[in-house]
Chain A
């Protein structure tokens, strides 16, 4: 099954994917930041990902691949 894969260095940490994920498995880091200085998104439970690509649909930065 296709899975969401976050491109950590492209993510601006806006959190729109987090609220649009039907399985609620996306989370922003609390302490770690990427090179741009943002708390970035992570898939907390990859096994639970259903590959629906809702996160990719709302991501403004094309920071999520689903494959």
Chain B
């Protein structure tokens, strides 16, 4: 019989996220995985700059708050001196794929034994809806008000595909939160990304597609419909790298 209660690895602090923002879902999945793997007591999380900047208020863990884009570097510093701990960085697309692109690529290339949870909603949410490195062509943002034009703004970055080219990562997967079934699937991959670290296999990243109802100017339901119909075709779901088995 399925029974669901909120995991104790999340605090009781109400999350500040907008209604229908699936940051909260991903927080819960991460917390549940840590609880189920029995490692919450030795986990250190690193929060980003962006909407998840207050993640340290929600995860019932020892937490650090990194500078914008630097979470993988900070997590590297923590993990290197405390290899016995489980260390994860939780980052959005502006944080991870724009200002923190170098830190991300090189933590991956080093095979740094950390887990990165990458929230891709194609927008800078916290600052009010500016264009992200992952904003789709044609999509509007406050800094591409007529829609992203590749001649002016360049092209969206497919982070999972890019990182999967490197030898360092042990696991790269893209998942989504557009419906309950996708969420259940996402959890399996997040759990796998933590298992990789626990097994000492090196850098693991799960890219999670989410919506931003507020800055996309959509209802929560429409935002997740947009993820399913418009975002996933550009950012296909799946495992892009797994050193334990052949993928794709």
Contact = CB atoms under 8 A, between A and B. Distances in A.
Nearest to B26: A60
B220 A53 contact: no
Interface in A48-62: 51-62
Interface residues of B, number: 30
A60 B24 contact: yes
Given A62-B10, A62-B28, A67-B4, A20 B20 contact: no
B19 interface: yes
Interface residues of A, number: 28
A50 B179 CA distance: 18
A55 B151 CA distance: 42
B19 A57 contact: no
A56 B22 CA distance: 12
Contacts of A67: 3-5
30 contacts: A1-B1, A2-B1, A2-B2, A2-B4, A14-B213, A14-B220, A15-B220, A16-B221, A18-B221, A51-B1, A52-B2, A53-B2, A53-B3, A56-B4, A57-B4, A57-B180, A57-B184, A58-B25, A58-B177, A59-B24, A59-B25, A60-B17, A60-B19, A60-B20, A60-B23, A60-B24, A61-B14, A62-B28, A65-B6, A67-B5
